[in-house]
Structure 1
Amino acid sequence: MPLSSADPLVLSYPFTGRWLARNSPARRVPSHGTDLMGSTYAIDFVAVGEDHRGAPLSLGAALGTEPPEKFVGFGAQINAPIAGRIVESYDGAQDHVARRSQLTLVPYLLTQAQRLREGVHGLAGNYVVIDISGEGPFVLLAHLQRGSVCVRDGDFVEPGQQVARCGNSGNSTQPHLHLQVTDSTDWRHANGLPIAFRHPGAPALPAESEIVDV
């Protein structure tokens, strides 16, 4: 989807392979139905196979939880989408089992209030934040795999440099990458900022459920 705004932050895709866009700000703003913690223009990406699914469907998927390792994206390399300095990171949150069944989502939703109370650690899980100028904007990459964050606060990263691997930590029901840009790392008061991704011709946002091949 071409952009109408003149000032989105233009990023490179932080992965390679085939990924499905979810909760795209090309569909609606706020993209996740809330402005909480600067998520106004956030977008999610789910790695998929040739069948455009994150993992094969099975009876187990319909009735119960699934190991995150079953999913194409779990452990996929995540790269810096722009140059900048790592100013915040966390790598201690566990990766959850995946939940695609409505039956398994009910008990998960009952724990949502606890994740909200925990703030960025509860919601983002394992994450890194890149400051692109020394005073922002700030790029958040979230739901990373535990033990995979390979940068430290203070490190300078270049576009395409590995920072972690895709996981299922924080507020996540199946392995995916959550990306957002904010004007602050004071998460309770941060404002979300619009984004775009490099495409042939002009920067653009993937539409909802669009497949991105990188």
Structure 2
Amino acid sequence: MTATISLEYPFTGRWIAHNSPADRVPSHRTELFATALAIDFLPVDARGRTAPVTLGSLVRPEPPERFTGFGRAVLAPADGVVVAVSGAAFDHPAYRGLPSIRYAATQRNRISSGWKALAGNHVLIDCGGPGGGAIVALCHLRHGSIEVEIGQQLRSGERIGRCGNTGNSTEPHVHIQAMDGPDPRTARPVPMTFKGSLPHNREIVDCR
């Protein structure tokens, strides 16, 4: 396995960690597509909520615009070169409560459709690093928000797009993973830290 790559958080503001490899490996309950060490970050408001909970949100899908972080800037977590961009997916409704159970039942179909169906709109960045380098993927970006192109040199902190709800996503968030090659079908996961550590599930990260 490639040595751990140290990254900056790919955002500003308040976010909550979810599916963290600090608590469980594989973090997303699968080894597919080099996701074993991936982590999700959900944008939250000052009260730690992704969106207000109502009776309606528990029984029917919601527009992603209702969520506090939909459209928040997503930043390059390290210096690197863009090696892949995919931005054709449209944002779909968010699912909480009973709708999330129905959405989970369709997971098999998304897996069978491959990486792009799971990642939605995404950017892959060759970030180099110790032990042979790492490709960092940032996924579920908002439709029409990607601002970079293949071959572009990036500096850490540059905006690459905005938080969305595309691909295998129940509500707006950013999925980030590192891997030892650009093809998630054959790559191996690379461990990550953020500013030298890895947040646990439900831990609030505040990047002001």
Q: Does 1:32 align with 2:28?
A: yes
Give CA deviations for 1:50-94 in whole Å, capped at 9, x if unaligned: 221100011111111111001111100000000100000100001
| Mapping for residues 55-70 of structure 1, pairs under 5 Å | 55-70=51-66
Structure 2 distance, partners of 1:149, 1:51, is 29
TM-score, normalised with respect to structure 1: 0.91
Match of 1:144 in 2: 141
How far residue 179 of structure 1 moved from its aligned partner, in angstroms, is 0.3
Q: Which one-letter code corresponds to 2:180 in the other structure? A: D
| Mapping for residues 145-160 of structure 1, pairs under 5 Å | 145-160=142-157
Structure 1 distance, partners of 2:35, 2:117, is 15
Question: SS of the counterpart of 1:60?
Answer: helix
Question: SS of the counterpart of 1:45?
Answer: strand
| Mapping for residues 1-214 of structure 1, pairs under 5 Å | 7-101=3-97, 103-133=98-128, 136-198=133-195, 203-214=196-207
| Larger CA deviation: 110-119 vs 60-69 | 110-119
Give CA deviations for 1:95-154 in whole Å, capped at 9, x if unaligned: 1100011x2124323332221122121000000000123974100000000000000011
Aligned CA-pair RMSD: 1.5
Question: SS of the counterpart of 1:37?
Answer: helix
Contact 1:12–1:81 (8 Å) recurs in 2: yes
Question: SS of the counterpart of 2:190?
Answer: coil
How far residue 207 of structure 1 moved from its aligned partner, in angstroms, is 1.2
How far residue 30 of structure 1 moved from its aligned partner, in angstroms, is 1.1
| Larger CA deviation: 153-162 vs 187-196 | 187-196
Contact 1:35–1:191 (8 Å) recurs in 2: no
How far residue 206 of structure 1 moved from its aligned partner, in angstroms, is 0.6
TM-score, normalised with respect to structure 2: 0.94
Match of 1:3 in 2: none
Structure 2 distance, partners of 1:116, 1:208, is 24
**What are the ranges of 5 or more consecutive residues in structure 1 without an aligned counterpart?**
1-5
Contact 2:111–2:118 (8 Å) recurs in 1: yes
**What are the ranges of 5 or more consecutive residues in structure 2 without an aligned counterpart?**
none
Q: Which one-letter code corresponds to 1:213 in the other structure? A: D
Structure 2 distance, partners of 1:27, 1:168, is 24
How far residue 210 of structure 1 moved from its aligned partner, in angstroms, is 0.3
* Matched length: 204
Q: Which one-letter code corresponds to 2:170 in the other structure? A: T
